[in-house]
Amino acid sequence: MTKKKWFLLILIILIIVGWYFLFYKTYSRKDIAKSADMVLCIDVKRNTNTILAYFITTPSEWDLGSLFRRRNKNEFDWKNAVKIPDYIFIFHSKDQPADAWYTVLTIKDEDEFKRGLNEYEFKAEDKDEYTSGKLGLDIIKSGDRILLGNFNVKDKHFIYAVANEIFDKQDYIEEATIKKIIAPSNHFSIFIEKNDFLQEDLILNGNFNTGEMLVDADIRPGAKFPFNESSFNLHDQSLLNVAFTQPSPQVYNLIPAETKSSVSKILNFNIDSLFNSQNNKYLLDIQGIKTRADSAITYTYDDDFNKVEKMVVNNVQEPSFNFSVYKNGVSSLIEYWKRNKNIEGDSSLFVSVPFVKTYAYDKKDAVSLTSSNYTDVGESMPFTGIGYLELNPGKIPPDLLKFLPDPLISVVQKFNSLKIISTKQNDIVKLTVSLTSKVANKPFLLSVRN
């Protein structure tokens, strides 16, 4: 064989090996229970390839010194204990609590797995049952397979039912369904089984772009769940913009009664009075957090017991916002708020907002709640659709961030903006969710890492 042919043969072998390790993917039905009605599918190889491609094309990120650094052999790594599949499936089972999610993995090394149980303080509840408050996980083991569930789901009968389905009955998801889930070339996909609301199974496409996570979906709600579009003028430089049309009674009734009751208690008025057929759309504009100097006079006494007046000036931070309920005609909302004592006497002061002085106005086309420090900047961005949300975390003052839990502070500080947009196209509701990080020149997963 000539050198040229040897080189060609080696090249072909390298291409085949590279294709196998980078692109060839397998899946197992045994990783998802038949009762699953929602599935999060993470394409491990696609995510790995995205990060690998970035490092290959970005020499400035290369850490050549790591080639000569010795790894700590005593440091535990879950990858040594369990097999990382090409697809990780995290599923929810029908008729279970909303926070009950599960995943199935296979043990690679029994000794390493036991080491991991000790490392993360798993307690043995039974022969093959373990719980860890540190990780917030329940584990049920069967042979070399493990079922992981959420530790916060207090009723353990839920995870027992799934374990029985997976390990004993061996009832798994349909082949056609799992193929539908993995068919899109996404970094991750979310599958939702058709139900009373959905005409057909729904796939949400999730992808990590440079500095951005993007989720989009075409939703086909049932004919009895109509959605309407409307036109809005949004202030895109605000801390938060929320705009949405009046939901139909059928859609509004999808909100659990407990949720409505909880929100009503927070607002100090019944939200059913707000979302009714008298209205056609809603717009909330939180411009930001403004500082106001608040002076107070206190009195002290000198050495001769003479009263001394002292003025103290405090800088108070208050939200600046306007919330408008656009009406179809005459609205009874103001009168309801007066009867419910949300409005003080005959004034327009809305006393149920504790953070800033807020006034209620009954205008020609809308009922508005407006803070005393709100200024209409005039500039606006037109939008036509069902709903729109834009959050700009960078406009939150640092001294207010400190009141958040430390883990949440670190998360908020990483992101530049969140946008959720919903529009209508014939009988399809189009949904787009965009989350951008402050590091705009790296793959999203790298841009938000610690």
Residue 279, pLDDT above cutoff 80: yes
φ, ψ of residue 288 to 5 degrees: the values are 160, -165
Cα(112)–Cα(104) distance, integer angstroms:
17
**Burial class of residue 295 in the structure, from the number of CB atoms within 10 Å of its CB (0-12 exposed, 13-18 middle, 19+ buried):** exposed
pLDDT digits (tens, 9 = 90+) for 410-419: 778 888 899 9
Q: Is 390 helix (H, G, I), strand (E, B) or coil?
A: strand
pLDDT tens track for 139-151: 999 999 999 999 8
Structural tokens at position 106: 């296979």
Write the pLDDT tens digit of every residue in 84-104.
999 999 999 999 999 999 999
pLDDT at residue number 64:
55
pLDDT surpasses 80 at 76: no
pLDDT at 332 over 90: no
Query: Which of 60-74, 264-278, 404-418 comes out lowest in average pLDDT?
Result: 60-74
What is residue 225's three-state secondary structure? Answer: coil
How many residues are given for the chain?
Answer: 450
% of the chain with per-residue pLDDT over 90: 52
- Say what the pLDDT of residue 67 is: 46
Residue carrying structure tokens 């989720």: 215
Which residues, including other chains, have CB under 8 Å from residue 170's CB and lie 6 or more apart?
Answer: 30
Contact 357, 371 (CB under 8 A): yes
Which position has the higher pLDDT, 81 or 422?
A: 422
DSSP 3-state assignment of 326? Answer: strand
Say how many CA atoms lie within 13 Å of 39 toward its Cβ.
31
Both tokens assigned to 403: 């009141």
Q: What is the pLDDT of residues 160-209, one digit of tens each?
A: 999 999 999 999 999 999 999 999 999 999 999 999 999 999 999 999 99
**pLDDT band per the 50, 70, 90 thresholds, residue 110:** very high
In this predicted structure, what is the pLDDT of residue 184? 92
Asked whether residue 16 carries a pLDDT value surpassing 90, the answer given is no
Supply the DSSP string of 130-154, one letter for each residue. Answer: EEETTTTEEEEEETTEEEEEETT--
Q: Which ranges of 234-359 would DSSP assign to H, the alpha helix?
A: 249-252, 257-267, 333-339
Q: Is the pLDDT of residue 27 over 80?
A: yes
Query: What's the confidence (pLDDT) of residue 355?
Result: 85
In this prediction, residue 18 carries a pLDDT of 67
